[in-house]
Structure 1
Amino acid sequence: MSTYTKITAMGQYVPERVVDNDELATIMDTSDEWIQAHTGIKTRHFAMDQENTSDLATQVAHQLLTKSGVVATDIDLIIVTTITPDALTPATACIVQANIGADNAFAFDMSAACAGFTFGLATADKFIRSGQYQNVMVISAEVNSKMMDFQDRTAAVFFGDGAGGALLQATENANENSLLAEKLQTQGNAEVIHSGRVRPLTKVAASNYPQTDAFYQNGREVFQFATNVVPEQMKTLLRTANVQPSELQYVICHQANLRIIEKIAANLALPMTKFPHNVERLGNTSSAGVAMALAEAFDHMTGPTLLTAFGGGLAYGSVLIKK
């Protein structure tokens, strides 16, 4: 008998500290007017006082257990998608596993930048469809603030911290299947977006110490990629699934920039009312943005919803789902 994947719970969490555009304008050459005009962003949340990526993800994991009624020891797999992990090792997902007492699970991190949640859902779906795993958490969590160069106004004004996630469960009822179609792609390009580059040695010396680079993006190239290449992927997936754009209840895009979402809506000839968004309140939360926007819309879902996201890699992925 075939096994299918059902999304049974969603959760989201943001740190308490709110940083508005006016506060950023006191430490860099920018303004509330410029940020809103170019990005639509008004505020964002920053993790402070030792709160790290695993802490945000753990909050979401607890929500998923509470909402679903599943106990932690029944979780089989935890996938955390992030480009801002607590450390290179151990995986942030392993820390979440320990925090919630998911003793029977295995856990790993996935790095697909802002496309992480779509890549994570597609990956979890394969584990469940294998028939070996019943309960899988996919959590996207980012503390982008710790990777920012706050003298780089072309990047620092965009980003916020947050986490969102889903509990996926196995079902033998085909009518309960939540993941309908997917298309994941990458274009190997390490220059448009990169973060945390670790510098190799130049010599053997006692002064050697690991160093990493701050986040960098070429905003113009990202905008062109997001508004030209990504919509074509979305249209291809919909044609393959035999779904017309007008049939979609929601389209949940990567929460990079409100202007990008508006361009994608125009490209698909759909009204902005079909595009749930949180970017104006939360900023660009990288892989967490789609997950958090879906968490806000999940209780109202009655029809097909298209998730699409894009980020460093360049990685871009679209997943068609239903509740």
Structure 2
Amino acid sequence: MSDGVKIIAAGHYVPASVVDNNQLATIMDTNDPWIQSHTGIKTRHFSLAGENTSDLATKAAQQALDNAKYAAEDIDLIIVSTITPDAQTPATAAIVQKKLGAVNAWGYDISTACAGFVFALSTAEKFLKSGTYKSALVISAEVNTKMMDFTDRTTAVFFGDGAGAALLVADGDNSVIRAEKLQTMGDAETIHSGRVMPITEISSNNYPETDAFFQNGRAVFEFATTKVPTQITTLLTNNGLTGDDIDFYIMHQANLRIIEAIAAKLEQPISKFCENVSYYGNTSSAGIAMAFAELMNTQDLTGKRLLLAGFGAGLSYGSVILEF
């Protein structure tokens, strides 16, 4: 058994193609002022060079390994959180394992949508604390564009592609995760993607098809700005903390207006909230992972407290307090 789990490195990757609001306005009835005023999004990155989810995941993971000067063959576990896997099977984590050359690792995917990085961190910590495994890569990667309906301007303007990764190791007596709260409220209608319908007859014409990404924007905004602040406040209170005790907040990068609303509900300055949605768009589960990597790679987090909160389809939502 090991009580200590540390995050020793992080990395992130986005595809090279940058798409601004004016480009989207050429294929749908929208415009830059409307998108910026309603979402705060200016640009996003699209995977237009044939890179799939495993490619983005591998590059983010490799950056984390390089930052830690860690060899891929020393990794025991790979967890990939994604709602846009390369395929239904095999797991994207298995493809990443091969691409990294992590020959001694086993891996699997989890699907808790935009809360994926928080749920995956929690899961990896439990494996490492068991004492059986010593190191884990937690990766959130999404190629959201391959699931978009680009005639749906209420959804397509939000999303971009990207990946973030964190390297966790069993070490010491204290875990970086001080506290967590994970919740699910079953709802298959507010947000869904990739539905595969069952057959109704035996026919040579049967062929699996999936639906495009859909979200009820108004319902998502209500969920995110009511349930999530309540969960965060409860988690802080139950652990003898207040909002002022947190140095950095990293919310799911759904859109800037939601982040601003959560900050207001928590009565915390927006300056404490990391954001990348304005230039990466909504990258689903990868948004928190990329913001965390950007923060870890630019600041000394020693002695700092972070609160990460993800929320998305499921409806699943989770918050975790990290102490460095």
Q: TM-score, normalised by structure 2?
A: 0.98
Deviation at 1:61, TM superposition (A): 1.4
Instruction: State how 1:84-233 maps to structure 2 within 5 Å.
Output: 84-174=84-174, 177-233=175-231
Cα distance in 1 between the residues matched to 2:260 and 2:242: 19
Q: Report SS of the residue matched to 1:151.
A: coil
CA contact under 8 A between 2:93 and 2:109: conserved in structure 1?
A: yes
Counterparts in 2 of 1:224-263, with a 5 A limit? 224-263=222-261
Give the drift of 1:205.
1.0
User: Residue 319 of structure 1 corresponds to which residue in structure 2?
Assistant: 320
Question: How far apart, CA to CA, are the structure 2 residues paired with 1:199 and 1:257?
Answer: 31
Secondary structure, aligned partner of 1:208? coil
Deviation, 1:88, is: 0.3
- Name the CA distance, whole Å, in 2 between partners of 1:102 and 1:322: 28
SS in 2 for 1:263: helix
Q: How far apart, in 1, do the equivalents of 2:239 and 2:305 lie?
A: 11
What is residue 310 of structure 2 aligned with on the other side? 309
Distance 1:274 1:172 in 2: 29
Residue 321 of structure 1: SS of its match in structure 2?
strand
Which deviations, in whole Å up to 9, do the C-alpha atoms of 1:254-295 show, x marking residues without a partner?
A: 000100000000011111110010000000000000011111
Alpha-carbon distance, 1:172 to partner: 2.4
CA distance in 1 between counterparts of 2:316 and 2:180 reads 14
Q: What secondary structure, in the 3-state scheme, does the structure 2 residue paired with 1:310 have?
A: strand
**Equivalent in the alignment of 1:74:** 74
Q: CA deviation at 1:173?
A: 3.1
Contact 2:2/2:128 (<8 A) preserved? no
Q: For residues 192 and 199 of structure 2, what CA distance do their matches in structure 1 show?
A: 20
**Other-structure match for 1:26:** 26
1:3 Cα offset (Å): 2.7
What's the C-alpha RMSD, in Å, of the aligned pairs?
Answer: 0.9
Letter in 1 for 2:17: R
Report the 3-state secondary structure (helix = DSSP H, G, I; strand = E; otherwise coil) of the residue aligned with 2:159: coil
Alpha-carbon displacement from aligned partner over 1:222-261 (angstroms, at most 9, x marks no partner): 0000000110000111111211111111010000010000
Give 1:165 deviation, angstroms: 1.0
What secondary structure, in the 3-state scheme, does the structure 1 residue paired with 2:262 have? helix
> 1:45-86 CA deviation, whole Å, 9 max, x = no partner?
000132100000000111121111221111000000000000
- Which residue identity does 1:151 align to in structure 2? T
Counterpart AA for 1:80: V
Alignment gaps of 5+ in structure 1: none
Structure 1: how far apart are the matches of 2:176 and 2:11? 17
Equivalent AA in structure 2 for residue 242 of structure 1: G
| Structure 2: tracts of 5 or more residues without a match | none
Aligned-partner Cα distance in 2 for 1:200–1:293? 38
Structure 1: distance between partners of 2:273 and 2:20: 23
- What SS does the aligned partner of 1:33 have? helix
| Distance across 1 between alignment mates of 2:270 and 2:49 | 37
Aligned to 2:270: 272
Kept in 1, the 8 Å contact 2:2–2:170? The answer is no
Paired AA for residue 21 in structure 2: N
| Percent identity of equivalent pairs | 61
Cα separation, 2, equivalents of 1:2 and 1:27 = 54
Alpha-carbon distance in structure 1 between the residues aligned to 2:309 and 2:239: 15
For 1:48, what is the secondary structure of its paired residue?
coil
Structure 1 SS opposite 2:79: strand
CA–CA separation in structure 2 for the residues paired with 1:310 and 1:40: 18
Q: 1:12-23, aligned counterparts within 5 Å?
A: 12-23=12-23
In the alignment, the residues of structure 1 paired with residue 17 and residue 2 of structure 2 have an alpha-carbon distance, to the nearest angstrom, of: 46
Whether the 8 Å CA contact 2:140–2:163 is kept in 1: the answer is yes
- Give me the whole-angstrom Cα distance separating, in 2, the residues matched to 1:2 and 1:241: 22
Whole-Å separation in 1 of the counterparts to 2:241 and 2:41: 32
Query: AA paired with 1:32?
Result: D
Partner of 2:37: 37
Query: What is the identity, as a one-letter code, of the residue corresponding to 1:40?
Result: G
Letter in 2 for 1:18: V
Q: Counterpart of 1:264 in structure 2: which amino acid?
A: I
Q: Deviations over 1:10-50 (max 9, x none)?
A: 10000000010000000001110110010000000000132
